[in-house]
A and B are shown apart, each in its own frame.
Chain A
Amino acid sequence: MIPLAGYLLVSAILFSIGLAGAVTRRNAIIVLIGIELMLNAANLNFIAFWRFSPNPEALSGVVFVLFSIAIAAAEAAVGLALIISIYRHRKTTDVEQMDSLKG
């Protein structure tokens, strides 16, 4: 049996990787990918905690993750639509060039 810590560690690593990518890559879509990775890591976290919880019959972890997946899908759709719209405007997906909110 894999202890809880194992899954949590995997989740943590995935989260960090996703974060690293989100703050490092230039392409907006890759940033979105990173965000998806982070979400997924969180989902894994939830399932792991649900599995090792004293009361798995409540299914709260599962339901949460289901909702999370659905919302993540919606969010990915909207995000990508945004990126496409920006691409049409600016002809670029480079996040470094999207700094018109510069203070």
Chain B
Amino acid sequence: MDFAAKNLWLIPLLPLVAAGVTSLAKRARRRLAAGLAIGAMLASLGLSLIAFGSAMSHATSGLTRQVVNFRWFQLGDGWVRLGWVLDPLTAIMLVMVCFVGLLIFIYSTGYMAHDENFTRFFCFLSLFASAMLGLIIANSLLLFFICWEIVGLTSYLLIGFWFHKPAAAAAAKKAFITTRIGDLAFLLGIVWLYAQGGTLLFYDNGQGCLEQPVLGGLASKVTAGGMAVSTGIGLLIFCGAVGKSGQLPLHVWLPDAMEGPTPVSALIHAATMVAAGVFLVARVYPLMALTPPGVHGPSTALTVIAWVGALTAVFAASIAVAQTDIKRILAYSTVSQLGFMMVGLGVGGVAVGMFHLLTHAFFKALLFLGAGSVIHGCHEEQDVRCMGGLRKFMPVTFATYAIGMMALSGVPVFFSGFWSKDEILHAARSWELSHWPFYLSLFGALLTAFYMTRQMCFVFFGSCRLALGKTTSSEQHSVAHAGQPAREHPHVELPAEPHESPGRMLAPLMILACFTVILGFFGTPAWPWIQHFIEGEPARLDLSLLRDASIASVMLTSTIVALAGIGLGYWLYGRRPLDSQQPDVLERWWPNLFTLLRRKYYIDEVYEYTFVGLNAWWSRACVWLDKWVWEAVVQLVAALVVGLAWVDRVLDEQVVNRGFDESCRGISRGGTLISRSQNGRVQSYLRALCLAAALLVLLLIWGCRSS
């Protein structure tokens, strides 16, 4: 147990402390907030690098995994235990999250410079970073879930950062509720796992739930429907990933989440939080891959994951083709790429999926930050139809964006996206069950290249259409422009031309672009360093593998597909200058299909009518119930009590009081009666006296006589 492993807990703690201090700071202390956040992130990055180094040095020594478990509280006879783990998966994720997070934090200082809630923003960002890092190092499914929920909370807070905008508030609510549905299934899975496995710790000296004895027990038990317990738990846990990573059918929140500021979109909804679902599947992969004894081939859980991922990839890519908001295109692209990652995990294993996650984090963050730069430069304009020709005005942004776009499209050799997507395609091609994920992934890749080219043509090529426009955009700077793009603001003159963003925003772009290129070389088939690092094997440079038939053919196929997509996009959108007044060329050819895609297959409407409508109906029913039934019961009880009180009063007044009064009167009358004997007349006294004396004498005589 070395220094890194023992002090791994510091990595999430530092941003948490930064968040705590920032939450108490006044709104005006911007430098403090930003400084704390960035400083904490830097420190966490340093520690993560140390941890990475430790993991690297232990990678081949046999001690690939270092675990620290501790007791939290007592529950019945046993203890609830939490812990953290340092293994290659953890180490590489830590470095990625810290690095990308740090760059985005620095970017945000420029992007949010005009916002009056700067401090709150950095507080939430730090809290998010803390929770995400905690999630990564968690060795207990319980701790994982806790951090998962905190991440969801910060996502809600950050999406609804400009909460006075109704669209943003609604989007935050939608995100939270949709992920909640997934989280419910996740929680059920956790409970089931605890019930069947007895522990929630992943690794615990051979007794953890990802270690053989427990896993074997889970695989052999069977539930009512004939499904193995491990499959059931795996599917439930996957539901949590479906919600968080925006897979079909819980993807609806991700595009709406673009209402948040662009750094938020970059960090949370592109690089890290949505990747948490993928990370979850990667973490519990031993459980997912479990097959009942005697069954061969991929497990049911992994099959489901692969299919869901493939469908999501194609589905989201097709929608992205018809979108016009620059961030929405990227959002659907994220959903699609997450689908790819799920395919990779399902067919290829942890390393395949995680490699794509890592590369995607960098280039998607790059793309989002670039989009932010574009939006900033176009004075809050977000509709691509109102942009154009920005290549001349924002060259650095263009260059970095182009690098990101090529990585995403899978342009070969120099761009990491190509290598990671290739791994997925290769694994899908050699999947035993079906080749359909492969074909769907290819189609998805084609669409990806197509819509990215379309976006590039709209935004960077052609002539500048900035002053014109038919639709409104949605991003606001609360101080500077009071919520509308410049062309709609009546008091500001329409700006002449877009401008390049300041250096604070460009530097992260360039750094990310570098890494987008470099990272690919660590995962090529010739030298799959990252994959082997994650799986704990030594990596060797073997260029001859590139000439292997299956690998080369997949590489060729994906290259052709990518170039075909780019070519198609250029042919449709790049040849002639685009006119924002005319409808999209696809819309002209296939208006119905285009509308279907633009309206996102009407899924939001379907949900609105079914689940949301059901919920609304149910809530109305409950209101009715509350008003007429429970209220009636309450009123009845109240009436009963009032009635009792009335009876009590009547009793008290008529019976008790009267009785009392009567008895008092009786006594009074008795007294009056008796007082009549005191008539003042001596003779009556004398009579009484003599009578009494006579009686006494009689008594005495009788007494004496009898005795």
Contacts and interface: CB of A to CB of B under 8 A. Distances in A.
A101 B685 CA distance: 12
Considering the complex of A and B, which 8 residue pairs feature the smallest CB-CB distances, nearest first?
A: A103-B678, A99-B680, A102-B680, A101-B680, A23-B687, A23-B683, A99-B681, A103-B675
Contact of A22 (B678, B680, B681, B683): B683
Interface of B: 675, 677-683, 686-687, 690
A95 B682 contact: yes
B686 A96 contact: no
A73 B680 CA distance: 27
Interface residues of A, number: 13
A31 interface: yes
A77 interface: no
A24 B679 CA distance: 16
Interface string A42-60: 0000000000000000000
Nearest to B688: A23
Given A22-B683, A31-B683, 19 more contacts: A19-B690, A22-B686, A23-B686, A23-B690, A24-B683, A31-B682, A95-B682, A95-B683, A96-B683, A98-B680, A98-B681, A99-B679, A102-B678, A102-B679, A102-B680, A103-B677, A103-B678, A103-B679, A103-B680
A31 B687 CA distance: 12
23 contacts: A19-B690, A22-B683, A22-B686, A23-B683, A23-B686, A23-B690, A24-B683, A31-B682, A31-B683, A95-B683, A96-B681, A98-B680, A98-B681, A98-B682, A99-B679, A99-B681, A100-B680, A101-B678, A101-B680, A102-B679, A103-B675, A103-B679, A103-B680
Nearest to A28: B682
Contacts of A101: 678, 680
A31 to B, nearest CB: 7
A102 to B, nearest CB: 3
Interface string A65-103: 000000000000000000000000000000110111111
Contacts of B677: 103
A19 B682 CA distance: 13
Nearest to A100: B680
A102 B681 CA distance: 7
Contacts of B679: 99, 102-103
A95 B685 CA distance: 12
A27 to B, nearest CB: 11
Nearest to B684: A23
B386 to A, nearest CB: 115
Contacts of B683: 22-24, 31, 95-96
Contacts of A100: 680
Contacts of B678: 101-103
A16 to B, nearest CB: 10
Contacts of A22: 683, 686
